[in-house]
Amino acid sequence: MAQCGDILVLGDSLSAGYGIDTREGWVWQLQERLREKGYPHRVVNASISGDTTKGGLARLPRALATHEPEVVIVELGANDGLRGMDLAETRGNLDRMLSLAQAGGARALLLGMKLPPNYGRRYTERFHNVYLDLARERSVALVPFFLEGVAQDPSLMQADGIHPNELGQERMLENVWPVLEELLQ
């Protein structure tokens, strides 16, 4: 497949910019960062608030065919976990997305998530391990916890306590940038 330089972001509300101006979101900021650093890549934001891994998997084949991305950033699973969905299904959906991205010639970047502790230690640990295990098994780049330094700081979160505010978006980009930049080398 010919690499056209697109970076496809397949995510949920965290990447769609829920509750903020999209120009304040980390995905928009990523496009600006790429431009500033001289990278020719175009960022395609295929994120939908409320999306699950099942929805992302259903949408991915068309997005791959349309954009032929060089990199696919998969930022999904939080809504699965918050809804207490079966971890085997979440894992299978994420695994299939990574497989499809790789089969299409793209490099994949998986953005790991953690759940609030009210879901119980066993479930939250198993949930987080899905990302760690898949990244290792599929040999894909990983940001272990996409909201590192954000979810723990109320000043970086919206009033709902789930979605980062404008200030948190920059930190999210900082969590992604070093791993993504290495993929672009």
Q: Supply the residues annotated as catalytic.
A: 13, 160, 163
CB atoms within 10 A of CB 72: 28
Structure tokens at 29: 């900021």
**CA distances (Å), origin 159, targets 11, 156, 164:** 21, 10, 9
Rounded Cα distance between 98 and 53, Å, is 11
